[in-house]
A and B are shown apart, each in its own frame.
Chain A
Amino acid sequence: MKKQNIIMIIAALLPLGLFLFPLWRITLEAPQYPTPLAMNIHINDFSDVHPHDIKNINLMNHYVGMQYIPDAIPEFKIFPAGILITTVLGLLIAWKGNYKWFLGWFILMVVLSLAGMYDFYLWEHDYGHNLDPKAIMKFTNPDGTQMGFQPPLFGSKDILNFKAHSYPQFGALFLGLGIAAGFVAYIVGKKNKSTA
């Protein structure tokens, strides 16, 4: 088997790491939480980083009228299916062997990941802005608009007494490496083609 096909097989398999490791983590730090509250986002679930973190995040957030973090969201069905389909697709084209298809897979994965990020952003935006009108505490921005409590998509941000951190985890690394490997497979394939 050609080198690029082997790389493509690896590329197609790597995103399966999302089923083993969390994709993302949102951490909330505040003085009265010496152990920060944190939530892992998996491909098919939310999970506590320390026992009862999500419950305690919900408890804190209800003061400003934020919704409870749901047990499940539709994405928990769509994302795993997406990953399984693209893995099968990747394996098929790795077997079929035309390197140009590798580029197609790479682009598909980049587009799907961006769509996922956008979906995540929309969810966060809704979570941080769609507040209970009867909220106990109401805060406004300096310009008079209602303050939102959206965690950052990526990076760290101060939200009232909390410092919120949002960073990828191991699962995202697997996905990223998979996508990158798809591109490498394409480059290697192209090189072999030109030298052949």
Chain B
Amino acid sequence: MKNILKSTLAIVAVFAAFTSCNNSGKSNGKSGALSSNIAEKVYVAPGEHDSHYAFISGGYSGNLTVYGLPSGRMFKEIPVFSQFPTSGYGYSEETKPMLNTSHGFIPWGDSHHPDISQTNGEIDGRFIFINENNTPRIAKIDLKTFETTEIIEVPNSAGNHSSSFVTENTEYVVAGTRFSVPIPQRDMAIKDYKGNFQGALSFISVAPETGNMDIKFQVLMPGFNYDLSHPGRGKSHGWFFFTTYNTEEASTLLEVNASQNDKDFIAAVNWKKIEEYVNNGGGTMMPADYAHNVYDEHTHTATSTMKKEVRVVNPSEVPGAVYFLPTPKSPHGCDVDPSGEYIVGNGKLSANLTVHSFTKMLAAIEGKKFDGEAYGIPILKFEDVLAGSVEQPGLGPLHTEFDAEGNAYTTFFISSEVVKWKLGTWEVIDRKPTYYSVGHLTIPGGNSRKPQGKYMFAMNKITKDRYLPTGPEMEHSAQLYDISGDKMELLLDFPTHGEPHYAAAMEADLVKERSQKIYNLEDNKHPYAAFSDADAKVVRKGNEVHIYMTTIRSHFTPDNIEGVKLGDKVYFHVTNLEQDFDVPHGFAVLGQNTSELLIMPGQTKTSVWEPTKVGVWPFYCTDFCSALHQEMQGYIRVSPANSNTPLKWSMGEDIE
């Protein structure tokens, strides 16, 4: 009866669509125009705000992008590991130290997994941590300013991939190595990999108030590849789980040689036990070079400190701290459900999804039911820890997230789909295709004890025909699904920037009220700040010329500078005197070999210019700031090296 009614309505709707003089476009034949309100579900009216923030990593862009859900609109790109000419990050004197490492200044990074800080297992919206894979680093972004405020390099690590997930009170951010390497690094034959290379799992402590990071200890594990990780929570809080591949310890053609073992491992690490051991003086300090870069929002300047040693722990020194859970075949994702009971290991070459039970794991450890050991680390029996498996859900499982109703959502790379299944019964409830080749997926709050339901988005590696073509290269795509019902519903495609590797998302209210609007000028402690036009000056120190410059709508002070000579290094220290939300000023000078600056209200930033030609060169504001933005300009005169042009500066002097 219901169906008859439905189809009658559909026929009426189709009839109406055909007869209506205003042809309202495509009405969805499958579901009927009356029930098709998908556009409405992602529509955020002009001036209204999205309900959720999504922070999507940029992968090879090295950055983090901020999106709104459900609209899929991109709001900001936050520079993290890569130079960013839009704001001068990594180009300005103040931010160059952020990209310092033990290998020197590195202008690019490969950002992967953002994770939001938590309190009591719930997202608190204070910080986002994100890892750099290529030159192992962890960054902290302050969600008050949406700026990167701290980067710590991870020594003894290589391919920092199983990272940067946080424990449930943000006690630690973890940085597990994807590639095992000689520790300490040395010149040795690669073929001697087996038994000689090691994998470092780094536990970076986060100070509760300031968020300051410090490497508390590194666990030196066997030379496997540590792929992904997840903290325990609830009952399993205090443990951390890492998937491994290449337990074969092959060093060449890993495609084949690391796919031989039927089962690799999930390494279960009892970090509380190791922490206790370390607090009692356990572990050894090992020489290591790594940079710790901190941005001070009062001096608007980053400092880079080189650290000289790190505490390492051999797991065999702490009995009961590390166990291996056999997991079929080359598991990629490692995900723990909100209750902390289930540990999902997505064997990317396996037909089934393997789920381990934390309770069973503890019982097996208690009963000492070991199936041998690897490098002194006990291996538990597969059958003893297995909670269950989802039979043949798809091809190439990668990552799993959870909703608040006890369901799990797993992405399948090869079969390009998201599969919804029930924890405990292991039955598949729903599956939806993605377009195409999905990697990670995110549910707001999904990485916490309290998933915030409603939305899920999949991040796809291949875009093909989903948008207007833009030549051989397409931006990757994300797809938003409504998961509030039994069945997932695809709502929206939206392009992402770089590789949308993984994302963290949360309800907007957690962040938006705390978002800072300006920097207070009175808090500006930059050594070269000028707090009013009267403070503007030009000072020569040998061949360095320091210009204390101010900007306000719509002029620079000074705007005429003379007395600079070839061979001088000119420092433009520009202070934005504005104290109004969203009124930055830009600065660029002709022939600059760095980038423009974008200076926020109350901030000071420095650009270095080494003029190469004699002449009178203009500088100007690059951010359309006001009705007289075009007039916001000045000149700097460059004289020959041997000239005696006096140092002189002015603003408004010649007006009659």
Q: What is the interface of chain A, defined by CB distance below 8 A to chain B?
A: 35, 51-52, 55-56, 59, 63, 134, 136-137
Interface readout for B632-656 with A: 1 if CB under 8 Å, 0 if not? 0000000000000000000000010
Q: Are A63 and B518 in contact (CB under 8 A)?
A: no
Knowing A59-B580, A136-B628 are in contact, say whether A52-B552 is a contact too (CB < 8 A). no
CB distance from A55 to the nearest CB of B (A): 5
Knowing A52-B518, A59-B552, A59-B553 are in contact, say whether A134-B655 is a contact too (CB < 8 A). yes
5 A-B pairs, CB-CB below 8 angstroms?
Answer: A51-B520, A55-B579, A56-B580, A59-B553, A134-B655
CB distance from A52 to the nearest CB of B (A): 4
CA distance A51 to B518 in the complex (A): 10
Interface readout for B564-580 with A: 1 if CB under 8 Å, 0 if not? 00000000000000111
CA distance A68 to B628 in the complex (A): 19
Q: Are A51 and B579 in contact (CB under 8 A)?
A: yes
Ranked nearest first, the 4 interchain pairs of A and B with the lowest CB-CB distance are: A52-B579, A56-B580, A55-B579, A59-B553
CA distance A136 to B627 in the complex (A): 10
CB distance from B654 to the nearest CB of A (A): 13
CA distance A63 to B626 in the complex (A): 10
A-B contact number at CB 8 A: 19
CB distance from B656 to the nearest CB of A (A): 10
> Within residues 613 to 637 of chain B, which ones have a CB less than 8 A from any CB in chain A?
627-628
Q: Which residue of A lies closest to B580 (CB)?
A: A56
CA distance A55 to B627 in the complex (A): 18
CA distance A136 to B628 in the complex (A): 9
CA distance A56 to B518 in the complex (A): 13
Q: Are B627 and A63 in contact (CB under 8 A)?
A: yes
CA distance A188 to B552 in the complex (A): 60
Chain B contacts for A63, CB-based, 8 A:
627-628
Q: What class of interface size applies to chain B in its complex with A?
A: 10 to 19
CA distance A137 to B553 in the complex (A): 14
CA distance A138 to B310 in the complex (A): 67
Chain A contacts for B553, CB-based, 8 A:
59
CA distance A55 to B553 in the complex (A): 12
CB distance from B556 to the nearest CB of A (A): 15
Chain B contacts for A136, CB-based, 8 A:
628
Known: A56-B580, A63-B628, A134-B655. 16 other contacts (CB 8 A): A35-B581, A51-B520, A51-B579, A52-B518, A52-B579, A52-B580, A55-B579, A55-B580, A56-B579, A59-B552, A59-B553, A59-B578, A59-B580, A63-B627, A136-B628, A137-B627
CA distance A136 to B632 in the complex (A): 13
B interface majority secondary structure: loop
CB distance from B70 to the nearest CB of A (A): 23
Q: What is the interface of chain B, defined by CB distance below 8 A to chain A?
A: 518, 520, 552-553, 578-581, 627-628, 655
CA distance A136 to B579 in the complex (A): 22
CA distance A59 to B578 in the complex (A): 9
Chain B contacts for A134, CB-based, 8 A:
655
CB distance from A42 to the nearest CB of B (A): 21
CA distance A70 to B376 in the complex (A): 77
Chain B contacts for A55, CB-based, 8 A:
579-580
Q: Which residue of B lies closest to A32 (CB)?
A: B582
CA distance A35 to B518 in the complex (A): 14
CA distance A53 to B407 in the complex (A): 51
CB distance from B626 to the nearest CB of A (A): 8
Chain B contacts for A56, CB-based, 8 A:
579-580
Chain A contacts for B552, CB-based, 8 A:
59
Q: Which residue of A lies closest to B517 (CB)?
A: A51
CA distance A137 to B552 in the complex (A): 17
Q: Which residue of A lies closest to B656 (CB)?
A: A134
CA distance A134 to B552 in the complex (A): 18
CA distance A56 to B582 in the complex (A): 13
CB distance from A31 to the nearest CB of B (A): 11
Chain A contacts for B581, CB-based, 8 A:
35
Chain A contacts for B579, CB-based, 8 A:
51-52, 55-56
Chain A contacts for B580, CB-based, 8 A:
52, 55-56, 59
Q: Which residue of B lies closest to A52 (CB)?
A: B579
Chain B contacts for A137, CB-based, 8 A:
627
Q: Which residue of B lies closest to A56 (CB)?
A: B580
Chain A contacts for B520, CB-based, 8 A:
51
Interface centre among B552, B579, B627 (most CB of A within 10 A): B579
Chain A contacts for B578, CB-based, 8 A:
59
CB distance from B600 to the nearest CB of A (A): 14
Chain B contacts for A52, CB-based, 8 A:
518, 579-580
Q: Which residue of B lies closest to A33 (CB)?
A: B580
Chain B contacts for A35, CB-based, 8 A:
581
CA distance A137 to B627 in the complex (A): 10
Interface centre among B553, B580, B627 (most CB of A within 10 A): B580
Chain B contacts for A59, CB-based, 8 A:
552-553, 578, 580
CB distance from A50 to the nearest CB of B (A): 10
Chain B contacts for A51, CB-based, 8 A:
520, 579
CB distance from B578 to the nearest CB of A (A): 8
Chain A contacts for B655, CB-based, 8 A:
134
Q: Which residue of B lies closest to A37 (CB)?
A: B580
CA distance A137 to B579 in the complex (A): 23
CA distance A134 to B656 in the complex (A): 10
CA distance A134 to B655 in the complex (A): 10
CB distance from A58 to the nearest CB of B (A): 10
CA distance A52 to B521 in the complex (A): 10
Q: Which residue of A lies closest to B602 (CB)?
A: A52
CA distance A134 to B579 in the complex (A): 25
CA distance A10 to B581 in the complex (A): 44
CA distance A27 to B104 in the complex (A): 53
CA distance A136 to B655 in the complex (A): 13
CB distance from B402 to the nearest CB of A (A): 38
Chain A contacts for B627, CB-based, 8 A:
63, 137
CA distance A51 to B520 in the complex (A): 10
CA distance A59 to B552 in the complex (A): 8
CA distance A78 to B39 in the complex (A): 64
Q: Which residue of A lies closest to B579 (CB)?
A: A52
CA distance A141 to B553 in the complex (A): 26
CB distance from A12 to the nearest CB of B (A): 40
CB distance from B603 to the nearest CB of A (A): 14
Interface centre among A51, A59, A134 (most CB of B within 10 A): A59
CB distance from A53 to the nearest CB of B (A): 9
